[in-house]
Amino acid sequence: MHEIGMCDGLRDLIDQKAAGRRITSVRLRVGARHAVVNEGFDQAFALVADGTAAQGAVLDLVVTPATVACHVCGRKSESTDALAVCPRCHAADVEVTGGDELVLESLRFGLSWEEGTGVPGRPR
């Protein structure tokens, strides 16, 4: 399950951005060529987030398509299939570009670990 490896790297970045604040949701853009399975990614994220600022956070996974250029019929299209073929002529002789990104788009913060601490403007 390669999703665990991807989430493992994200955990460090999220913890750095959290700076002691609790994360309530994470929006992640992942390219179709990573071939992630939503349920598997959710489970992997929950596993690596356990005990961190993102424990219990809701994951919003946005899959972005790759561009498929067919060498047979010349059609250009988008696909979210990691093993893309031409949607017009079904040829496998295609050039696939893009769809390989992994971007942490946003984090939503809640109260920090101890209710109210670490919140700017609020005394400890």
Walk me through the domains of the chain, giving residue ranges and CATH numbers.
Answer: 3-64+98-109 (3.30.2320.50)
Structure token pair of residue 79: 């696909």
Q: What is the C-alpha separation between 28 and 93, in angstroms, rounded?
A: 31
Above 90 in pLDDT, residue 118?
Answer: no
Higher per-residue confidence, 115 vs 62: 62
What is the mean predicted confidence (pLDDT) over 97-106?
94
Q: Output the pTM of the full model.
A: 0.77
- Residue-wise pLDDT tens digits, 36-55: 989 999 999 999 999 999 99
Pairing of strands 94-97, 23-31: unpaired
Amino acid identity of 103?
V
Q: What is the C-alpha separation between 95 and 28, in angstroms, rounded?
A: 26
| Residue 74 pLDDT grade (very low, low, confident, very high; cuts 50, 70, 90) | very high
Amino acid identity of 72?
V
pLDDT of the residue at 20: 86
pLDDT of the residue at 117: 47
Q: What is the C-alpha separation between 107 and 13, in angstroms, rounded?
A: 11
Residues 45, 61: contact at Cβ < 8 Å?
A: no
Above 80 in pLDDT, residue 86?
Answer: yes
Above 80 in pLDDT, residue 119?
Answer: no
Above 80 in pLDDT, residue 102?
Answer: yes
Comparing CA positions, the residue from 21, 4, 24 lying closest to residue 107 is 24
